[in-house]
Amino acid sequence: MSAVEDIATEAPAVEAVPKRAMTIGAGTSLVVLALLFAVPIFAKNFIVFQMTMLLIYGLAVLALNILTGGSGQFSLGQSAFYAIGAYTSAILMEQYNVNYALTLPIAGVICFGAGFLFGQPALRLSGVYLALATFALATAMPQLLKLNFFEKWTGGVQGLVVTKPDAPFGLHISQDAWLYYFTLVVVVAIYIFSVNLLRSRSGRAFMAIRDNEIAASAMGIDVALYKTLAFGVSAGITGVAGGLGAIAVQFVAPDSYTIQLAISLFLGMVVGGVGWLPGSIVGSAFIIFVPNIAEGISKGLSGAVFGVLLFLVIFLVPHGARQVAIVGQQLLSRLRK
Amino acid sequence: MDFGRNIIVAALAATVLAATAGGVQAQKKYDPGAGDTEIKIGNIMPYSGPASAFGVIGKTEAAYFKKINAEGGINGRKITFISYDDAYSPPKAIEQARKLVESDEVLLVFNPLGTPSNSALQKYLNGKKVPQLFVASGATRWNDPKTYPWTMGWQPSYQSEAHIYAHYLLAEKPDGKIAVLYQNDDFGKDYVKGLKDGLGAKASMIVAEESYETSDPTMDDHIARLKASGANVFISITTPKFAAQALKRLAEIDWKPLQFLANVSASVGAVLMPAGFENAQGLISTAYAKDPADPQWDDDPGMKRFNDFLRNYDPEGNRLDLATVYGYGAAQTLVEVLRQCGDDLTRDNVMKQAANLKDFAPDTLLPGIRINTSPSDFAPINQLQMMRFKGQRWERFGDIMTGDVGD
């Protein structure tokens, strides 16, 4: 059996998700958006901060979702791109006094470049091998950030403290609320961009590659280009999330961006439903709130409790939030009849 | 008899006045987290993640406050100790600190652990004017009352310890050639900086430096390179697991320099026993706390109280774990501060009293080492004593030393 046949007969790494099933209806989207918009009016600052983190991690999970759910490539290295984005924003803001809003597109572009470049050698790898290669990137990143050579900019192991922006135009809302709305706007914009991307010609190319690489190339899709492009887009969005994260947390340090973060994002994607973009927010909620719940149940065994909860989720709803949403929809339509 | 009556009236008036004045002084003042019956204390610990071994500190502190409450509390107020897990991750630490301050409304955040996490908290807590009291890290940056008036460390800083070794070397071995092995993080780098500052003009005595990562499986290569440099002094700035590996490896390749070991790893039970006592003879380190594994403290009244506490309130606690000793000492210091606060439990007064500790000696500190603070000195413990390993125990030698590191 030749290598080509081998690949051809191999089951696709990720289950095919039809592109219409990747999003939710306009009505539901508007309701969710309205709810998100109302949060700071009713919630305390701490909750607003948590919601901001929810959106930021949601964005990072979304980026991974485009890569894995869209183009079928695995990555355990998202923490590296998140770190590059965070450091780009932090360094520009603190060392060069760039406005925080401007640092985000720069972070996105730099990460797009990094992801695109990393995608080149990664082309030769697929499935678990690609996951391992990206894993290497994630383990290397904290050490690279500690290097003496970069210390002038990165602050070395001590990290950098970032100043939180005030609300502009003399708006009388707290810094937290302002940052929340700012994040919300960025996230919604990128969400709309992502949905459109996946519905576009490029998105169809991603999905064709995911479902069957050889068939895709036979159809005339430049497999190498689109695979690296998917990596670049995913890394770019992750970078924007990283930049927002640095502003919200007000601190960057190498130890914030370990492999643990990459695994959390991966977990968020699986729990939210691979390939289902709205699930990113659900997955992000899982990685933020479930550890807190686990800690509330038992401090000494928080890791074990988290493991049990995760196991239950994977066992009961293997397709994550998407499955729950589909079941819910069916129940609703049955009620209407 | 008008005159007499007048005197009585005047005396009465004076008494009333004095009483009112006293009343004003003793008036109860509270900030969020404090009340007539309760003081809420927040804490953040890595109960999970790479530094989870230090979670013991939080557990010991919880047990100590349980003891204080069982004995009637502080000035009649019970302590509610709320401790959260940050898994040693700075973003998580920020989230937990905000939860403590904004949702649980604690009076202060006590003994949060780890340099990266605390660096992340420093700006937030100072902005909110919430005490970040007795930070569990030896970085030098916690002693900076001008920039960060709401942050205070507890243990001696890594730099002051390194200074002490530098002074010793300059006096005892001025022609020494030094090889340094350090952990590639804030702890290791802070230490190397202290060493170089301490050596001053003679920093060229350092002939070789090797850094390692906590993910390295062995120290063999690093030790081989350091030996090849021809050094006759070896300084090991390592955490326990790597300290033991390095000690063992030195013996295996038959390299016998004058050895120094950072005091975070000076544990007889956790480092020297596994490395083999014969490999640790003559090793030099420093200490500020009593090692419970050391039989010389068996009859010490302070350690007896520590043992009683473990028996009655923390039966699961490991007596030989230095983290248990640490948590006990830190918790005792906080209780002293709160006691000094009296009925004025404002955040302002907490910092004022924390900066007003005079010759306070927790049960677990070495005899002669005292906690002293002032509005310009936010380094509670800044004394150490040198010690040399002989037989199966440390022998302290020389005076109690102060490693002065100004910011």
Q: State whether B173 and B310 are in the same domain.
A: no
Q: Is residue B28 part of a domain?
A: no
Residues B239 and B263 placed together within one structural domain of the fold: yes
pLDDT at A332 over 50: yes
Q: Indicate the residue of A44, A161, A302 with minimum beta-carbon distance to B102.
A: A44
Mean pLDDT, residues A186-215: 91
Interface of B with A in 169-198 (CB under 8 A): 184-186, 189
In terms of domains, do B270 and B179 share one?
yes
Q: Is residue B17 part of a domain?
A: no
**pLDDT confidence of residue A17:** 61
| Integer Cα distance of B380 and B378 in angstroms | 6
* Domain housing B219: 158-287+386-402
Q: What is the DSSP letter of B321?
A: -
> Could you report the per-residue pLDDT of B136-158, keeping only the tens digit for each?
988 888 999 999 999 999 999 99
**Cβ–Cβ under 8 Å, residues B49 and B213:** no
The answer to which of A276-280, A318-322, B54-58 has the lowest mean pLDDT is A318-322
Is residue B122 less than 8 Å (CB to CB) from chain A?
yes
Q: Is A149 on the interface with B (CB under 8 A)?
A: no
Is residue B25 in a domain? no
For every residue of B166-226, DSSP letters joined together read HHHHHHH-TT--EEEEEESSHHHHHHHHHHHHHHGGGGGGEEEEEEE-TT-S-SHHHHHHH
pLDDT at B26 (0 to 100): 56
What phi and psi values does residue B151 have, to the nearest 5 degrees? -120, 135
Contact A108, A114 (CB under 8 A): no
Interface of A with B in 270-289 (CB under 8 A): none
- Tell me the residues of chain A between 128 and 147 that have a Cβ less than 8 Å away from chain B: 139, 143, 146
pLDDT value, residue B5: 60
For the cut 70, the answer to whether the pLDDT of residue A11 exceeds it is no
CATH number for the domain spanning B68: value is: 3.40.50.2300
A213-224: per-residue pLDDT in tens?
889 889 888 888
Give B280→chain A minimum CA distance, Å.
Answer: 31
CA distance readout (Å), B30 to A82, B35, B274, B342, B375: 42, 6, 50, 11, 22
Check whether A185 has a pLDDT greater than 70: yes
Best mutation target among B52, B98, B128, B142 (most A Cβ atoms within 10 Å) is B98
Domain segments of chain A as ranges? 25-257
User: CB-based contact (8 Å) between A165 and chain B?
Assistant: no
Return the structure tokens found at B300.
């010490």
Q: Which of A158, A261, A303 lies at the smallest CB-CB distance from B186?
A: A158
ipTM of the complex: 0.71
> Which of A18-22, B50-54, B61-65, B244-248 has the weakest average pLDDT?
A18-22
Whether chain B has a CB inside 8 Å of the CB on A49: the answer is yes
Interval A58-82 mean pLDDT:
91
Residue B199 and residue B283 in one domain? yes
Task: Reply yes or no on whether the pLDDT at A2 is more than 60.
Answer: no
Return the pLDDT at A1.
Answer: 39
User: Nearest C-alpha of chain B: how many angstroms from A102?
Assistant: 23
Does B54 lie in the same domain as B194?
no
How big is the A-B interface in CB pairs under 8 Å?
87
pLDDT at B320 over 90: no
Q: Is residue B23, in this structure, part of any structural domain at all?
A: no
Strand partners, B345: B30
Chain B residue whose CA is closest to A161 = B120
B316 is a domain residue = yes
Residues B275 and B360 in one domain: no
pLDDT at B298 over 90: no
In the DSSP assignment, the letter for residue A20 is: G
* Direct distance between the N- and C-terminal alpha carbons of chain B, in angstroms, rounded to an integer: 69
- Residues in chain A with CB shorter than 8 Å from the CB of B193 are none
Same structural domain for residues B80 and B147?
Answer: yes
Cα–Cα distance, A260 to A272 (Å, whole number): 18
Find the length of chain B: 407
Q: Provide the number of structural domains found in chain B.
A: 2
Residues B70 and B209 in one domain: no
DSSP B267: -
Amino acid at A91: I
Residue B339 has pLDDT above 90, yes or no: yes
Give the one of A251, A291, A302 whose C-beta lies nearest to B90's C-beta. Answer: A251
pLDDT at residue A8, as a whole number: 43
Chain A residue with minimum CA distance to B93: A249
Domain membership of residue B14 (yes or no) is no
Model confidence pLDDT, tens digit, residues A117-144: 888 887 788 778 888 888 988 988 888 8
Distance of CA B187 to the CA centre of its chain: 14
| A56-65, B46-55, B205-214, B249-258: the lowest-pLDDT one | B46-55
What's the gap in Å between the CA of A259 and the closest CA on chain B?
12
How confident is the model at residue A295, as a pLDDT? 81
pLDDT greater than 50 at residue A286: yes
Give the model's pLDDT for residue B11.
Answer: 58
pLDDT value at B329 more than 90: yes
- B393 and B274 co-located in one domain: yes
Candidate from A11-25, A76-90, A92-106 with smallest mean pLDDT = A11-25
Q: Are residues B248 and B353 in the same domain?
A: no
Report residue B271 CA to chain centroid gap: 20
Please give the residue that has the higher pLDDT: either B284 or A130: B284
What does the DSSP 8-state code read for residue A255?
A: G
Q: Are residues B261 and B168 in the same domain?
A: yes
Angle between helices A259-272 and A78-96 (to 10 degrees): 120
Q: What are phi and psi of B114, to 5 degrees?
A: 105, 135
Residue A23 has a pLDDT of 66
- Tens of pLDDT, residues B222-261: 999 999 999 999 999 998 888 999 999 999 999 999 999 9
Q: How far is A71 from chain B (nearest CA, A)?
A: 30
A241 pLDDT higher than 80 = yes
Residue B154: the pLDDT is 94
Is A321 or B207 the better-scoring residue by pLDDT? B207
Predicted pLDDT at A4: 46
Do B237 and B90 fall within a single domain?
A: no
Judge whether B115 is closer than 8 Å to chain A, CB to CB: yes
Please indicate, yes or no, if residue B24 is contained in any of the structural domains: no
